[in-house]
């Protein structure tokens, strides 16, 4: 295992071309999609499931040009129950790759294209919010099993990958950020600038920390025999 700092030039202004979307809360998503297209009519959106349906509905006749399902992009089908959709090298390489790094470009455009018919891409924006774990556990009728299945795995992974790589990716974690994000695009000639990406990354890191802390606190307070096993079909 090797860890090193980014030795390549960091780009200040990035055009929103490839946008990965995975949201539980779909409020404001139509305005965000339309707003991004106002600045780049060729922007392409990648998503799965219900989020994909919402984007296709928003795009209308433009969907064939501006939308690609994650399944078609990666060449990997979704696992039953939606448990595995975005945990794929084409997704995480697109979020973590360094721009201007020849080795990463070869991995995206060369190595990954051998895994299917499509090469990888640099994602410019990740839009994501998570399963509502804290809302679920606040309900008196919630069992530990209900809480367990409402733990988001892919969402936090993509959020932290995007936040870690704020040199390259803007990460939006709440519908409340959409209007300000679009205003910033307006003020910066349709480009996503570095200081904005950093501020969004800070907010994303904080939100993921709070999310994982809530999960840890909840399960740390459970007794297996009293709280957990009664809700299971144990063989």
Q: What pLDDT digit, counting tens, does each position of 84-113 carry?
A: 778 888 999 999 999 999 988 898 888 888
First to last CA, the chain: 40
Residue 59 counted as domain residue: yes
| Number of separate helices (H) and strands (E) present in the chain | 11, 7
The CATH number linked to 197 is 3.40.50.1380
Residue 26 counted as domain residue: yes
Query: The domain containing residue 222 runs over which residues?
Result: 13-229
Residue 234 counted as domain residue: no
pLDDT at 196: 97
Q: Assess whether pLDDT exceeds 70 at residue 1.
A: no
Q: How confident is the model at residue 180 (pLDDT cuts 50, 70, 90)?
A: very high
Task: Estimate the share of the chain in helix, then strand, then coil, as percent rounded to the nearest 5.
Answer: 55, 10, 35
- Say how far residue 173 (Cα) sits from the centre of its chain: 8
Q: Which residue has the higher pLDDT, 11 or 123?
A: 123
Q: How confident is the model at residue 117 (pLDDT cuts 50, 70, 90)?
A: low
Strand 44-47's sheet: what is its strand order? 67-69, 44-47, 18-23, 125-129, 170-172
Q: Assess whether pLDDT exceeds 70 at residue 71.
A: yes
Where are any strands of DSSP class E within the chain? 13-14, 18-23, 44-47, 67-69, 125-129, 170-172, 192-193
Residue 5 counted as domain residue: no
Domain count, the chain: 1
Residues 29, 175 contacting (CB under 8 angstroms):
yes
pTM of this prediction?
0.92
DSSP states of 119-131: -----SEEEEE--
Give the mean pLDDT of 163-192.
Answer: 97
Residue 7 counted as domain residue: no
pLDDT at 75: 83
Residues 118, 73 contacting (CB under 8 angstroms):
yes
Residue 40 counted as domain residue: yes
pLDDT at 206: 97
Q: Assess whether pLDDT exceeds 70 at residue 81.
A: no
Residue 140 counted as domain residue: yes
Q: What pLDDT digit, counting tens, does each position of 34-67 carry?
A: 999 999 999 999 998 889 999 999 999 999 999 9
Q: How confident is the model at residue 6 (pLDDT cuts 50, 70, 90)?
A: confident
Separation between Cα atoms, residue 177 and residue 115, nearest integer Å: 35
Separation between Cα atoms, residue 112 and residue 138, nearest integer Å: 42
CA distances from 190 to 29, 45, 182, 217 (A): 18, 17, 9, 42
pLDDT at 208: 96
CA distances from 97 to 3, 23, 180, 212 (A): 14, 22, 26, 25
Report the percent of the chain where pLDDT is more than 90.
70
Angle, CA of 3, 113 and 120, to the nearest 5°: 60
């Amino acid at each position: 295992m090797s860890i090193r700092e980014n030795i390549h030039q960091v780009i200040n202004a990035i055009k929103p071309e490839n946008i990965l979307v995975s949201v539980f809360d779909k409020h404001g998503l139509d305005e965000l999609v339309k707003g991004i297209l106002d600045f780049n009519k060729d922007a392409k959106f990648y998503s799965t499931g219900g989020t994909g349906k919402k984007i296709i509905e928003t795009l209308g006749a433009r969907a064939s040009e501006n939308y690609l399902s994650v399944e078609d992009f990666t060449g990997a089908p979704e696992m039953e129950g939606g448990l595995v959709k975005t945990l794929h090298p084409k997704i995480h390489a697109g979020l973590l790759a360094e721009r201007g790094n020849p080795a990463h470009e070869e991995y995206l455009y060369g190595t990954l294209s051998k895994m299917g018919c499509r090469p990888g891409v640099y994602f410019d924006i990740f839009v994501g919010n998570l399963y509502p774990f804290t809302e679920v556990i606040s309900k008196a009728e919630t069992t530990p099993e209900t809480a367990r299945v409402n733990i988001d795995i892919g969402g936090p992974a993509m959020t932290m990958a995007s936040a870690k790589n704020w040199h390259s990716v803007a990460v939006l974690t709440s519908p409340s950020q959409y209007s300000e994000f679009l205003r910033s695009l307006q003020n910066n000639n349709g480009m996503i600038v570095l200081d904005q990406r950093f501020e969004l990354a800070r907010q994303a890191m904080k939100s993921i920390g709070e999310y994982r802390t809530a999960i840890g606190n909840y399960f740390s307070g459970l007794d297996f025999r009293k709280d957990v096993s009664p809700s299971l079909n144990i063989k």
